[in-house]
Structure 1
Amino acid sequence: MNRPGPPPLPAAEQREFEELVKAADSANAPLLHPDARPKPAPEFEGETNPRTGEIGGPKREPTTHGDWSFGGRATDF
């Protein structure tokens, strides 16, 4: 391919550039977008629902407000 591109860097500068790119992409970066909505808080901790005594049951009722909502967002079909 004969396409225009940036001029090549000297070896030392290319190494420095690659190290900076690797540092920017490291695990220190947040996993979620800053504008992402947080998941709703659980209704209770552990496996047993203290109100109903249900063990291992659903943690959050999906039809709380008469619609299907996931993470605070309703989905309609």
Structure 2
Amino acid sequence: MLRQITRRTYSSLNRAGPIPIGNKAQQKEMLDLIRKKQESNASSNGTDLHQDAMKKPTPEFTGDVNPKTGEVNGPKNEPVKHNDWSFGGRVTDF
């Protein structure tokens, strides 16, 4: 006894990429925007931060020795500010 197996394929769901929009002009515009964004991401060197990313705080002193405490090779900013421990501008609660 032979069984026949039917496999359905949905070509629009099997391919990578966004699902097509009904309007051809909107589809072309969307694909152009995606391509432009991918090219700009490929051309950046990877050191650029997103505009919403939190910037690291500026160091309070230059050099290896803290002028207030005399500590050598310590943190450039006071880690305990406002009664919270902070590192790189982020506050940590114990």
Segments ≥4 residues shifted beyond 4 Å = 19-22
Give identity over the alignment, percent: 52
1:45 Cα deviation after fit: 0.5
TM-score by length of 2: 0.49
Query: Which structure's relative contact order is higher, taking Cα pairs within 8 Å and 6+ residues apart?
Result: 1
Question: What number of residue pairs does the alignment pair up?
Answer: 66
Query: Which protein has the bigger helix share?
Result: 2
- Unpaired runs of 5+ in structure 2? 1-8, 13-18, 21-31
- The structure with the largest alpha-carbon Rg is 2
Instruction: Encode CA deviations 1:51-70: one digit per residue, 9 max, x unaligned.
Output: 22222122222221111223
**Does residue 35 of the first structure (1) align with residue 68 of the second (2)?**
no
TM-score by length of 1: 0.57
Q: 1:60 to 1:21 in 2, by over 3 A?
A: closer
Instruction: Encode CA deviations 1:22-77: one digit per residue, 9 max, x unaligned.
Output: 63221267721101121111010011112222221222222211112234332324
